[in-house]
Structure 1
């Protein structure tokens, strides 16, 4: 989704239309036992995040002279944008001839994300998905919460009674994680609650319900990609030393902006115990720097000029 958000910010900056396509009959009716390769036509380049677990996600770009096109493919959902409407129309016709596609017009609903475009830019949210999540949890009539997690409560694995059936907890946490696509304010809570999915307790379920009641406060909250005269990267990162009272591991987090457009963020408990708060801060910087390095490569493919120097604020 970082690739999608970067593409949206770029398209809004250039005032390009973003077309949405859907492939008919994308799923196989049988078992596939052979290796599958993607053929990239001459003139196109392919960009995939390093160490990505999404093998079916790819970005194809076309650049010839002053003409630029970008195509994002996720399973059977496609986004197409660029500065040449005539070529975009030709590409859609060729795709329909080869694969049989459905032209959905300007982007409006993609992978459960709602897109609303105006003269200032594009707003993305998951309002429909969030309301479905609240309905599934049965808390639509509950009082909203002003904060996702209670800062005075430290969740551990030895407080509360084991849930008789952990299926609902795991399902709700999984859907909560998907909400973080447009809600960075939920990332830390989702990271905390997901580590108890193996054997959740009643205290964990109560904390989960509080997060869902926080979503109920504003289910349509999301991100706004404004149109800017220039695009530049800047980042913020931090670490919380020995935050986890169970493993004593530290939590790192970062958020990266393209101008004022938030395109990448993370809240993650690390796999090791840091010996000092200074070491934890340096490791947070290292994680943020790796993401910036990849983003610079991605923006290069999108023909967005970037500088070697990117400020990181602690």
Structure 2
């Protein structure tokens, strides 16, 4: 979804119209390369009961159908003069003189934007995301989807919660037996995962709740219901892609050293903005145990730089100038020193060499690490459960708005 938000941010900044279209009977348009045979459909009589039908086109239910459709679409767009992005094959761009046209494909849904407004209309709804636009920018939210979650859990009349998760929670060490029927918990958490498309504030709590899908307990179910009560306080909350910005990338990364009490692995979190609007964010557990907070932060920087490099290539394909260094904000001075210092250090000799590519990107002028205080670290909200006051402060710093 980061590419969708980035795609829309570019359109908003350039004041381009956005059009959404759906292709009907999408899986019936693909050309089959393999020989596929099916039994005759009911009502179709054959002289021999052993006869079968050979397909010349793809059909719903075939495993090849999605790939055949995309191959047909991409081939057609390339024939019309479009270029396909190598960083995301679902993105296409057409450029001719002063005219640009961008197409983003998601199965049978397409988002189209460009510099010409002759034949384009405004998108209102895409992949369950509600789109509202005015002079200040484009507002993305999932209000209807949120209200459906609240209604289906029976919490329409419940008291709203001020923040999604209690501070200093101990869900990883929750006592008691597992729920007899884990399906409602799994279903609710699965729906919350998709809700995080427009809600960075849910990234941490969803990361926590997703770890107990195999055997949730009563405490985990109560925590999931608290998230729903938090949604009830602002069901229309979403992100604003601001208009009139310079489309510069800025990144914030953070880590919670030893955040998992079971595995002692740290958490990595990042928030990346384009023109001051959040377009990419993530909370994930690191693969290895870090021996210090500096190492944990350094690994978080490495993951964030990977995302930055991808976004730079993506924006360049969309015609955006990305030659200036990207400020990478980190609240750990030791991690910044490690990234800038090419001297071997006894405490960093065990860190995998692939993490050290940060130094190369700094030398090439791609990344500019900058130290910030924890109080203004935007990614802090994605690494731990904050109190109500701190949570509200970080929401405002993320540029959150309520419709």
Structure 1 residues 78-89: aligned runs within 5 Å: 78-86=110-118
Paired residues of 2:246 and 2:275 also in contact (CA < 8 A): yes
2:200 aligns to what? 184
Paired residues of 2:245 and 2:275 also in contact (CA < 8 A): no
2:10 aligns to what? 10
Paired residues of 2:131 and 2:139 also in contact (CA < 8 A): yes
Q: 1:45 deviation in Å?
A: 2.0
Name the CA distance, whole Å, in 2 between partners of 1:33 and 1:21: 23
How many residues align? The count is 292
Please identify which structure carries the higher strand content.
1
Would the alpha carbon gap of residues 21 and 191 (structure 1) be closer, same or farther in structure 2, given more than 3 Å must change?
same
Would the alpha carbon gap of residues 31 and 186 (structure 1) be closer, same or farther in structure 2, given more than 3 Å must change?
same
Worse-matched range after superposition: 125-134 or 269-278: 269-278
Q: 1:158 deviation in Å?
A: 4.8
Q: 1:277 deviation in Å?
A: 0.9
Would the alpha carbon gap of residues 210 and 128 (structure 1) be closer, same or farther in structure 2, given more than 3 Å must change?
same
Worse-matched range after superposition: 289-298 or 272-281: 272-281
1:148 aligns to what? 164
Paired residues of 1:48 and 1:58 also in contact (CA < 8 A): no
Name the CA distance, whole Å, in 1 between partners of 2:321 and 2:274: 11
Write out per-residue CA displacement over residues 90-132 of structure 1, whole angstroms, 9 at most, x where no aligned residue: xxxxxxxxxxxxxxx4100111110011111111100000010
The answer to whether residue 106 in structure 2 is matched with residue 69 in structure 1 is: no
Q: 1:299 deviation in Å?
A: 0.1
Paired residues of 1:12 and 1:227 also in contact (CA < 8 A): yes
Q: 2:131 aligns with which of 88, 111, 115?
A: 115
1:97 aligns to what? none
Q: 1:41 aligns with which of 48, 53, 78?
A: 78
Name the CA distance, whole Å, in 1 between partners of 2:147 and 2:167: 25
Q: 1:30 deviation in Å?
A: 3.6
Q: 1:229 deviation in Å?
A: 4.4
Please identify which structure carries the higher helix content.
2
TM-score using structure 2 length: 0.70
The answer to whether residue 197 in structure 2 is matched with residue 165 in structure 1 is: no
1:303 aligns to what? 319
Name the CA distance, whole Å, in 2 between partners of 1:79 and 1:208: 33
1:94 aligns to what? none
Paired residues of 1:157 and 1:201 also in contact (CA < 8 A): no
SS at structure 2 position matched to 1:237: strand
Q: 1:157 deviation in Å?
A: 5.1
Where does structure 2 lack aligned partners over 5 or more consecutive residues? 28-58, 331-403
Would the alpha carbon gap of residues 241 and 110 (structure 1) be closer, same or farther in structure 2, given more than 3 Å must change?
same
Structure 1 residues 1-314: aligned runs within 5 Å: 1-27=1-27, 28-33=59-64, 36=68, 37=71, 38-39=74-75, 40-42=77-79, 43-47=81-85, 49=87, 58-86=90-118, 105-156=121-172, 158-314=174-330
Write out per-residue CA displacement over residues 2-48 of structure 1, whole angstroms, 9 at most, x where no aligned residue: 11111111111111000110111124334245874342515322236
SS at structure 2 position matched to 1:262: strand
Q: 1:275 deviation in Å?
A: 1.4
